[in-house]
């Protein structure tokens, strides 16, 4: 049977086995048949684990006989749903994440390292071992009802996608929107799923009161490249159609060209913005590829397997935008990078936006309609 090695994988970049081949004891790759339809190639242990488990064939059973990775969903019994932050890089101070992990399988996702906190791998575990917060609507109503709560726009989808495939079954996001609509609370949503159109009725009503805006990430217009980068996300065409329908319904929309990956999709910046503008989008943003912690090795492995002819060139350009490093998490630099190449990307983006009339009027949501939700049951006063 397949055994595991207790040797920790060094932090340096580890070359992967070619796609479709069974790795040996020194590799971290997973056979193609076991990870079909997934984004990453491996499932190395998280950084907090005392040992690193690496599957190999000891002669008793072929690795090809191991079962494929199946999506499993567990309950996350969190007691609070609103997460606070004080980052100077982002425009919101609170967010909600209905799910942990994301089935879309985007290899570059900067949220992958969070799975290490759960004792799981940021690799294939992140996109197959998911956690749902079914009590999110009730928790949100309670937190919005807390004495002294001051409303400000809540961001949803900034970590993992709230409209990933399992949302069809659990409908946590719709429940959250119903609470926000009743409370008159502003919300900004980021997704790369056309499933958001399911909730167009609520979003349109909220937009009439200036309570909702939506950003959809479009990384490429090439359907084949999108399938390699984001295997279980909506196709580029469906995302553009979602932007078109949202805009037509009066919901303020933004297209996010994110992430911009040098020598992979950076040549499409202008085309993406042009297509989004034709769909009625009036806002745009971009984020340069980020490679924190385990994401670096996962991306390097994916790059070698899918673009071996330019892998070295891509990483050279990445380092040119990160002060010679693979990643720089410094506030003010992590989103846009630095150096001549990063500057060129920024100028191209700004020039295209100016030409198309994007970002001339940014949507600003209001808190004037907020009313604290009534608790489901009030304790009787002793002095009533």
pLDDT digits (tens, 9 = 90+) for 188-215: 999 999 999 999 999 999 999 999 999 9
The single residue listed with the structure tokens 């991306």 is 299
Averaged confidence pLDDT in the chain: 88
Q: Which residue has the tokens 């911009």?
A: 260
Q: Which long-range contacts (CB under 8 A, 24 or more apart) does 68-73 make?
A: 68/33, 68/34, 68/35, 68/36, 69/30, 69/34, 69/35, 69/38, 69/43, 69/124, 69/128, 70/128, 71/103, 71/128, 71/130, 71/166, 72/128, 72/129, 72/130, 73/130, 73/131, 73/132, 73/166, 73/170
Q: Which has more pLDDT, 330 or 65? A: 330
For 45-74, write each residue's pLDDT tens digit: 888 887 776 666 666 655 556 778 889 999
Domains of the chain by start residue, with CATH: 72-356 (3.20.20.70)
pLDDT given at position 68? 80
Task: Give the orientation angle of helix 236-248 with respect to helix 200-208, to 10 degrees.
Answer: 40
Report whether pLDDT(17) > 70: no
> Residues with Cβ < 8 Å from 50, sequence gap 6 or more?
none
Mean pLDDT confidence for 138-164: 95
Tell me what pLDDT residue 145 has.
95
Which tens digits make up the pLDDT trace of 86-125?
A: 888 788 899 999 999 999 999 999 999 999 999 999 999 9
What is the share, in percent, of the chain residues with pLDDT greater than 70?
Answer: 87
Average confidence (pLDDT) over 308-336: 94
Burial letters 263-295, b for 16+ CB under 10 A, else e: bbbbebbbbbbebbbebbbbbbbbbbbbbbbbb
Q: What is the pLDDT of residue 11?
A: 39
Q: Which of 292, 327, 290, 294 is nearest to 49 (CA)?
A: 294
Task: Give residue-wise pLDDT tens across range 212-238.
Answer: 999 999 999 999 999 999 999 999 999
Is the model's pLDDT at 36 over the cut of 80?
A: no
Q: Which helix (H) or strand (E) holds 259?
A: strand 253-260
Q: Are 116 and 48 in contact (CB under 8 A)?
A: yes
Report the distance separating Cα 132 and Cα 75, nearest Å.
Answer: 5
Bridge partners, residue 29, by sequence: 42
Percent of the chain topping pLDDT 90:
73
Q: Quick check: 7 pLDDT over 90?
A: no
Containing 155, the helix (H) or strand (E) segment is strand 154-156
Nearest-angstrom CA–CA distance, 259 and 324: 19
The separation between CA 371 and the C-alpha centre of its own chain, rounded to angstroms, equals 31
pTM for this prediction: 0.86
CA 299 to chain centre: 15
Average pLDDT over residues 141-161: 95
Residue length of the chain? 384
pLDDT in tens, 240-253: 999 999 999 999 99
The DSSP-derived string for 294-344 is THHHHHHHHHHHH-TTTHHHHHHHHHHTTTTSS----TTTTTT--SHHHHH
Cα–Cα dist 73/340, whole Å: 44
């Amino acid at each position: 049977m397949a055994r595991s090695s207790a040797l920790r994988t060094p932090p340096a970049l580890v070359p992967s086995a070619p796609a479709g081949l069974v790795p040996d004891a020194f590799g971290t790759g997973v056979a193609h048949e076991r990870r079909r339809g997934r984004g990453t190639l491996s499932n190395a242990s998280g950084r907090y684990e005392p040992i690193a488990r690496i599957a190999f064939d000891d002669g008793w059973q072929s690795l090809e006989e191991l079962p494929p990775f199946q999506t499993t969903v567990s309950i996350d019994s969190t007691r609070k749903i609103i997460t606070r932050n004080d980052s100077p890089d982002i425009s919101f101070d609170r967010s909600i994440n209905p799910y942990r992990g994301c089935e879309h399988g985007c290899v570059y996702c900067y949220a992958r390292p969070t799975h290490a906190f759960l004792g799981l791998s940021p690799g294939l575990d992140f996109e197959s071992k998911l956690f749902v917060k079914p009590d999110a609507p009730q928790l949100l109503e309670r937190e919005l009802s807390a004495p002294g709560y001051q409303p400000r726009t809540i961001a949803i989808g900034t970590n993992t996608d709230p409209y990933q495939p399992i949302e069809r079954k659990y409908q946590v996001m719709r429940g959250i929107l119903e609470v926000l609509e009743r409370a008159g609370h502003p919300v900004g949503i980021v997704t790369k799923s056309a499933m958001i159109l399911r909730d167009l009725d609520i979003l349109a009503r909220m937009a009439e009161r200036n309570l909702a805006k939506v950003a959809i990430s479009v990384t490429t217009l090439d359907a084949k490249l999108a399938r390699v980068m984001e295997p279980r996300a909506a196709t580029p065409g469906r995302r553009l159609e979602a932007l078109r329908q949202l805009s037509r319904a009066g919901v303020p929309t933004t297209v996010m060209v994110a992430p911009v990956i040098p020598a992979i999709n950076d040549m499409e910046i202008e085309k993406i913005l042009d297509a989004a503008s034709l769909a009625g989008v009036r806002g745009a943003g971009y984020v340069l590829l980020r490679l924190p912690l385990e994401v670096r090795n996962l991306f390097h492995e994916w790059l070698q397997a899918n673009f071996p002819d330019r892998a070295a060139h891509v990483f050279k350009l990445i380092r040119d935008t990160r002060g010679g490093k693979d990643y720089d998490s410094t506030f003010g630099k992590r989103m846009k990078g630095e150096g001549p190449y990063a500057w060129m990307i920024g100028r191209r983006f700004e020039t295209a936006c100016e030409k198309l009339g994007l970002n001339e009027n940014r949507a600003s949501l209001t808190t004037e309609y907020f009313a604290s939700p009534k608790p489901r049951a009030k304790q009787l006063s002793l002095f009533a």
